Amino acid sequence: MADIVASCAAASCRTLQMPAADCLDSLKIDPVMSPTENVVATTRHQAPAYGEMPEIFIMDRPQMTYQTIQTTPFDDQKPGTSGLRKQVGVFQGEHYLENFVQSIFDTQEALRGGTLVVGGDGRFYNRQAIQVILRMAAANGVARCLVGRGGILSTPATSCVIRKYQTQGGIILSASHNPGGPNGDFGIKFNTASGGPAPEKVTEAIFERTKEITEYKTIDSEDIDLDTLECFTLEGMHVEIIDSVADYAELMAEQFDFDAIRELIAGDFHMSFDAMHAVTGPYAREILENRLGAPSGTVMNGIPLEDFGGGHPDPNLAHAKELVAKTLGDNGLDFAAASDGDGDRNMILGKNIFVTPSDSLAILAANATVFPAYKDGIPGVARSMPTSQAADRVAEKLGIECFETPTGWKFFGNLLDAGRIAFCGEESFGTGSNHVREKDGLWAVLAWLNLLAVRRESVAEIVTGHWAEFGRNYYSRHDYEGVDKAGADTLMNELRGSLDDLPGHELGGLKVSYADDFSYTDPIDESVSYNQGIRIGFEGGSRVVFRLSGTGTVGATLRVYIEAFEPDPAKQQSETQEALAELIGIAGEIAHIVKFTGRMEPDVIT
């Protein structure tokens, strides 16, 4: 109990502007009563006006006892590349959420007596799931929970809070860029004490536990008020409702030159940020409008909604058409950006130009010394295997390390912790650095604003200048969504069976230099990940990659990545799909995409 009280004094009193002594005196916990007998007198701390002493009152709760609920395993709770994602109705099924949460508590012993961060992207079922998790946390011996106000915590902000307060981990409720609402998707994942997604050895342990679970623990209690900054005690567990934005905003001010960005925005500069009615809205309004002086309304769709306003919170050219339109023509915006459901993805746009995530990573790495946090340079950069090789060329010129990892941010964690890299990114609109252990949409947006403020060039000038220096990697991803899983599996298996015969052969006039099913040996812990995607590379640097996505919830999603390198500046202004037309044809023919998917064309092209 002393640890709980001390943590209240250290963290909650700062947030609530309460003197530590008052906070300590107001915790009405009887240390003599056993957990099953303790009648919880919950102390609720209202945030006072500045300079005023808080009004403290006690709200008695009915007697609560631990409950052990019998259950049976589900056979589909294996986490994907970023946690467990299913349709909302699946999570609402009896025991489904509880089984997975109990499996986290059963395998993560550090949480017993430790601190857990809980939050999500605000999608449908977020609030209800948080109440379930809090009751189960109390029953499983967690000492303290930090919960974002309104149940809101972006994924990068959760990582920030875990690291800042040195907690034992966090539970994030999100299905990222997947649609929300009662008929949409939901998700849950566990982040470790590093602030990053659980590595495979942790997710495997959780999955193994889900296959044998027979009971879970909870308590019988009323819901906790998630909307006011306050403290509760819940069966001896301390619960703090924290400001969702403050800690993250402070961290961003340490990363970037806010004075330079303010000066840029105050000038003849026009921008917009689309929060897509998802979690990033409150963060973007506080940082872009309140702290950096962007005009009110710069943040569009800034109120988080349970169904994301009926939209698809995926920041790409297909799902952010309104924003894209604002950048087109002579009067287009100078800069525009968007983020996704849980705030870890980003799309960057300039006047009449879209910056691919692969190019964005490479450009930021090439200009790292512009940012105050990296004024002395970066030790290395990493990209997921399907991401274009643009960052490799930057690393080679800078003389720094470059790593190619499987898809999934968790694979960057060891490299970041070991200090081998500082910047990392994925083609799926994810960019980040060592400031947290998650990809971070708003971080990338602020990085671009900082770059524009220092370089005093347009987005297009920066991008084309980068191509002229390093060469252009024409790049596109074709997604075939919700295809028959059996057909998709057959496609991948037949491709694997042909790999040994491909090197040395010509396909459409291009000579194959290598063909493999990518595997990765982590240079830090030497763990090995197999079957991470099929690569077919050609002489000259072009390649096609085939991979089944682990983020969908219905059927299978086949992703085909097409890349061609062009070193000649005179040939770097072609339209992307035209420049890649030959490779697109090769990819379709060699994988028999129409035959196995039944699709004549992809559902989404980015």
Which residues are bridge partners to 405 per DSSP? Answer: 384
Based on the number of CB atoms within 10 Å of its own CB, is 201 exposed (0-12), middle (13-18) or buried (19 or more)? exposed
Q: What amino acid is encoded at 143 in this protein?
A: A
* Under 8 Å between Cβ of 256 and 446: yes
Sheet holding 604-605, edge to edge: 506-507, 510-517, 534-538, 543-548, 556-566, 472-483, 604-605
Tokens, residue 201: 């050895």
Q: Residue 66's closest CA among 37, 88, 101, 107?
A: 37
How many Cα neighbours within 13 Å face the side chain of 160? 29
How many Cα neighbours within 13 Å face the side chain of 104? 26
Q: Residue 603's closest CA among 384, 318, 413?
A: 318
- Give CA–CA dist 582/544, Å, rounded: 11
Which distant-in-sequence residues (6+ apart) come within 8 Å of 127 by Cβ?
Answer: 151, 226
Q: Residue 13's closest CA among 56, 55, 43, 45?
A: 45
What amino acid positions are annotated as catalytic residues?
A: 176
- What stretch of H or E contains 452? helix 441-455
Q: Residue 298's closest CA among 334, 263, 347?
A: 334
- Give CA–CA dist 116/456, Å, rounded: 43
Is 590 in a helix, a strand, or coil?
Answer: helix
- Give CA–CA dist 309/301, Å, rounded: 8
Q: Residue 31's closest CA among 66, 4, 58?
A: 4
* Under 8 Å between Cβ of 218 and 69: yes
